[in-house]
A = this chain, B = another copy of it.
Amino acid sequence: MGLTSTEENYLKAIFKIQERNGQAATNEIAAELQTSAASVSDMIKKLSQKDLLHYEKYKGSQLSEQGRRFATSLIRKHRLWESFLVEKLNFNWDEIHVIAEELEHIKSPKLIRQLDAFLGFPKYDPHGDPIPTEEGHFHQRKQIQLSRMKPSEIGAIVGVKEHSTTFLQFLDQQGLVLGARVQFNKQFDFDESVEVVINDTDRKTLSKKVSENIYVQLN
């Protein structure tokens, strides 16, 4: 019983909203997928009939166990393909999302198993997001937002919260790449910007918006 790409995209969107809110409201799904609430209402009915989610009129949607499995499998495929694009085809981390959105819909369990092995069973993708297991389990790392660091703490950049092209390109230009060492100096109260030292050499001031969207793991 295969799903269409559209159905798969709904499951992924609902999963994402659920992680955030516990529940997925129709309007939120519509916003996430850039479509109308009416279309979402139609599709939800369909997915509910296929037992991929639980739904009561006017009450929002929640993925069923089966729906969750599909969604995490899609996220797994997406992140493995992103890893492939960066590690093997020399793409930059700001160019890969759109391509992986297409690749994730390719139907072949063996393809994904072989790809995983070829990549050396990576645990995190090029944005530092965890790659779920086949069973839908996500590795959890003790990471915090850079903006939450305390003076003199030291850590390493392990991920980003925001994934937009412009943000990722900005980080590249600033040398704020995954693995970079960050020493936190201080926070400036007037605009909540922070001063850090990158790789023991570059002293930088980062705006609140930037520091909130970078994840670090403390040493």
Contact = CB atoms under 8 A, between A and B. Distances in A.
A88 B114 CA distance: 9
Contacts of A98: 108
B102 A106 contact: yes
A99 interface: yes
Copies in the complex: 2
A102 B107 contact: yes
A95 B118 CA distance: 17
A89 B114 contact: yes
5 contacts: A88-B88, A88-B118, A89-B115, A99-B108, A102-B107
Contacts of A107: 102
A111 interface: yes
A118 B103 CA distance: 18
A91 B114 contact: yes
Contact of A111 (B99, B114, B115): B99
A21 interface: no
Interface string A96-133: 00110011011110110011001000000000000000
Interface of A: 85, 88-91, 95, 98-99, 102-103, 105-108, 110-111, 114-115, 118
A114 B90 contact: yes
Contacts of A91: 110, 114
A103 B98 CA distance: 15
A145 B98 CA distance: 44
A113 to B, nearest CB: 9
A115 B88 CA distance: 9
A118 B88 CA distance: 7
Contacts of A106: 99, 102-103
Contacts of A108: 98-99, 102
A98 B118 CA distance: 20
Contacts of A88: 88, 118
